[in-house]
Amino acid sequence: MKRLLIVFVTFLLANSGFANDLDWGKTGHRTTGEIAQDYLNKRTQKAINKLLDGHSLAFVANYGDDIKSDRNYHRYSAWHYVNIDPEATEYNPETASEKGDLVTGITKCIEVLKDKKASKVDKQFYLKMLVHLMGDLHQPFHVGHADDLGGNKVTVEWFGKKTNIHSVWDSKMIDSYQMSYTELAENKDKLTKSEIKEIKKGDLLDWVYESRGLAEILYKDVAANNDLSYKYMYQWFPTVRQQLQKGGIRLAKVLNEIYN
């Protein structure tokens, strides 16, 4: 009995260690997947339905986090973020770790999904990872500074409780809003065709630079005030919603290009 208790406590401690590594939290990732579903063309929908055995993008959206507890997948942990030096003018792939980064991870997913010789098992894995990583890309602190682990070391107060700014953007604001992923997706902003076209513009690196630019703004903002509550929620939650929506629209764009 004592041995079982030790094992159980060890399990809890091991899993709690992943708390600061989450990206958008489960609700945020599912929201992005659900929104993407609305922008898929029929050919892409059919291909994905077949590949995922009928499951939706929202259903698999948290796969990239779920596998973190399995040592066999630890080599993919570096794919969840990309750090660009604040002084750098552009992304340098040579600064990535040997295991890669968010840019190399997304690129690899697209490459496998386009490969006609790749097995269904491999394509399932990389599709699930792509859905997750495209969500990560739009959480600005996943394109944050390396020295503070993407805001994980930037301590703040969230409604009087000590946490970090990365966690606030991952899940705390979304959880405080108290909407399910389907409610958030259903209540996405109504965009014109020209606005959707503008969001789709550019490529992966353009979107990386966009998130990086937002991260720099957020770093300066929290440096001026780290006691966060209603005012911060009022100021920045609309941006959270916009980022979730951009992630969904761009994920759909990437998938439509793969299957067309």
Whether 28 maps to a domain, the answer reads: no
Query: Mind listing the pLDDT tens digit for each residue in 208-241?
Result: 999 999 999 999 999 999 999 999 999 999 999 9
Q: What is the CA radius of gyration of the chain?
A: 18
Burial 194-218 (b: 16+ CB within 10 A, else e): eeeeebeeeebeebbbbbbebbeeb
Whether 199 maps to a domain, the answer reads: yes
C-alpha 64/C-alpha 32 separation (Å) is: 14
Whether 180 maps to a domain, the answer reads: yes
Q: How confident is the model at residue 7 (pLDDT cuts 50, 70, 90)?
A: very low
Whether 181 maps to a domain, the answer reads: yes
Average pLDDT of the chain to the nearest whole number: 91
Whether 3 maps to a domain, the answer reads: no
Query: Mind listing the pLDDT tens digit for each residue in 186-204?
Result: 999 999 999 999 999 999 9
Whether 20 maps to a domain, the answer reads: no
Element (H, E) at 111: helix 102-114
Query: Mind listing the pLDDT tens digit for each residue in 61-104?
Result: 999 999 999 999 999 999 999 988 888 888 888 777 788 999 99
Phi, psi of 86, rounded to the nearest 5 degrees: -55, -25
What's the CATH code of the domain at 116?
1.10.575.10
For residue 85, how many other CB atoms are within 10 A of its CB?
11
Q: Is the per-residue pLDDT at 1 higher than 80?
A: no
Q: For the chain, what is the domain count?
A: 1
Q: Considering the entire predicted model, what is its pTM?
A: 0.90
By residue range, what is the domain housing residue 95? 47-259
Whether 213 maps to a domain, the answer reads: yes
- The letter for the amino acid at 130 is L
- The letter for the amino acid at 173 is M
Burial 91-129 (b: 16+ CB within 10 A, else e): beeeebeeebbbbbbbebbbebbeeeeeeeeebbbbbbb
Whether 16 maps to a domain, the answer reads: no
C-alpha 46/C-alpha 36 separation (Å) is: 14
C-alpha 40/C-alpha 256 separation (Å) is: 6
